[in-house]
A and B are shown apart, each in its own frame.
Chain A
Amino acid sequence: MNKRRKKITNFSKAAYSMMLPFLIFFIITILIPTIMSLWFSFSQVSDSIDFVGLSNFKAIFKDPLFFKSYYNVFIFMFFSIPITVLLALIFAVLLNKPTIKGRGFFRTVYYLPAVTSIVAVSSVFLTFYNPTGLFNAVVTAFGGQPIPWLTDPFWARVSIIIISIWLNVGYYTVLFLAGLQNISGEIYESADIDGANSFQQFFKITIPMLKPVILMGMILSTINGLGAFEVPNILFKNGFGPESSAVTVGVNLYKTSFEMVDFGKASAISWTMVIVAAILSVIQFIIGGKDNEA
């Protein structure tokens, strides 16, 4: 008994020592900054950090750009998330068919945007969106009028939505594929016997079974979408776009923290993001849960 006890403490010692390098960096670069960020959001940060109560939050709620940035992000998410999820579902279901040849190759190519620099992707699309770039060459080849991609507020938003769909579909395809592989083939076989066609199987089996994964994907998209910064910052000088139509919460945060150097106000904005992301996650869970019971 005594010997066993000693052994366990020896293991713990080794475990602590193996954990230590990660723990040090986790505490210095994640845990302490997170706590400091909360503290900053109630402070005026310069050479000293002075507590100012709620004045940072009052300042951001008076700032029209703050609301504009949330409004823009919600428009982007409202259109890009459903399209992304739908396309990814289609690709995932098709790639899950064992009879299809080259599934691994398709899957790998679809996934490439997820590991490619967003800055690089945005700059390729910047070239496509040029008034006489590839996209307008295609449009005019079909007899259409050139589209003012980056200069008109409406089309500027469309441009961003197109990029974010292109960036994310592959990631969700692979995510959903992994989920589909957890669904046993027997369910489909018995559905076949009962005479359910492909569409019925898709809506009655695939979607309900994948719901947790879809939900997880949508929550991830929401959190990432709020902080999106690269795409507008490469497409538009200063990241604002025509009539500030491209400003995201991330762009606003970058301007506030590193150009206006107001760390207090910027931290306050970043904590509104935490709260909004939490609320949206809860809403998505409630909606998802309800459907499950029905």
Chain B
Amino acid sequence: MKRKIFRPTIIYLVLIVGLVVFALPYVYMIIAATQNNATILGEKINFTPGPYFMKNLKEIQEKYNYVKVLWNSAFITIVGTILSTFITTLAGYVMAKYRFKGSNLIFNLVMISRMVPGFAVLIPTFYILSKVGLTNTYAGVIIPGLASTTSVFMMRQYAQKFPTELMEAARIDGAGEWTIFLKIAMPVLTPSIITTALLTFMGYWNSYLMPLVILSDSSKFTIPLVIQNMTQNSYDPLNYGALMAILATSVVPVVLIYMWLQTKFKSNGIDSAIK
């Protein structure tokens, strides 16, 4: 009997310790964004909000033109996510629902290419982009991420559950294949499409290496590039409060939106990836 009362307590204790460990950096971003270096680097642990939030925001706006940086990140992310989700949804759907000459070859190539490390692909991609004049452009950051093999694989898994009978019924009614996709498959697959789009969105928003090598003009910089500039800057001392103000306004809102949509659609793609 004693064992039964004891065990759930231990389980919750372990889970709550995990919760604190994983949530702490996010909470810390918000609190430290309102503090100055004297408090953040003080001898004592201080989790009380300070009065410096607006001052920190003003500093990142003046030094890095933060509003423009947010716009750059938003533009690249939104355009990239819409284009990538559309083409990978189409491809995943075709791979799940059609057999044609070369369909196996395409599937195998996509799967094999997932084994090649990103860096191997990045170097020639950069070479090609610089030859066609796309370095230092938004397009140069967006294009290399469009053909996401992860998204195709996920959409293929989801589309396999889409009933073929619906397609056959629509064909009897005289619907073309594109109409079937746009009018029947897309609405049915919407939750899956949003799940895939969400991961693509986070991928573009968090992307670091691609903008780092493609963008050289600081007026086009995205959020991760500004963060790296702050931490690697050896000219003036790092204002940790200002750094945290960037994180509190660029990481926390996106993470909250993710949490909200995630609970709404209840799947994160991993479940389908291993089944």
Q: Contacts A12-B100, A32-B124 given; indicate if A137 touches B88 (C-beta within 8 A).
A: no
CB of B122 to closest CB in A, whole Å: 8
Chain B residue nearest to A121 (CB atoms) is B25
Q: Contacts A31-B113, A120-B224 given; indicate if A112 touches B26 (C-beta within 8 A).
A: yes
Query: Is B235 positioned at the interface, with any CB of A under 8 Å from its CB?
Result: no
With A and B bound together, what is the CA distance between A97 and B15 in angstroms?
12
Q: Contacts A19-B106, A115-B258 given; indicate if A100 touches B120 (C-beta within 8 A).
A: no
Asked if residues A30 and B40 are in contact (CB atoms below 8 Å), the reply is: no
Query: Is B5 positioned at the interface, with any CB of A under 8 Å from its CB?
Result: no
Query: Is A226 positioned at the interface, with any CB of B under 8 Å from its CB?
Result: yes
Instruction: Give per-residue flags for B168-187: 1 if the beta carbon is below 8 A from chain A beta carbons, else 0.
Output: 00000000111001000000
Query: Is A125 positioned at the interface, with any CB of B under 8 Å from its CB?
Result: yes
B residues contacting A by CB (< 8 A) are: 8, 11-12, 14-15, 18-19, 21-23, 25-26, 28-29, 32, 40-45, 86-88, 90-91, 93-94, 98, 100-101, 103, 106, 109-110, 113, 115-128, 143-144, 146-147, 149, 152, 176-178, 181, 199, 202, 205-206, 208-209, 213, 223-224, 227-228, 230-232, 234, 240, 243-244, 247, 250-251, 255, 258-259, 262-263, 266, 268, 270-271, 274-275
Supply 27 A–B pairs (Cβ within 8 Å), ascending by A. A12-B101, A18-B94, A19-B90, A25-B146, A26-B109, A29-B143, A34-B113, A90-B14, A91-B18, A94-B15, A108-B262, A112-B23, A115-B199, A115-B206, A115-B258, A119-B228, A120-B224, A121-B25, A141-B45, A216-B274, A254-B209, A257-B123, A267-B120, A270-B123, A273-B117, A274-B115, A274-B117
Known: A117-B206, A171-B270. 16 other contacts (CB 8 A): A15-B103, A18-B91, A18-B178, A19-B106, A29-B147, A33-B121, A108-B262, A111-B262, A112-B23, A120-B250, A123-B230, A132-B43, A137-B45, A229-B209, A266-B123, A273-B120
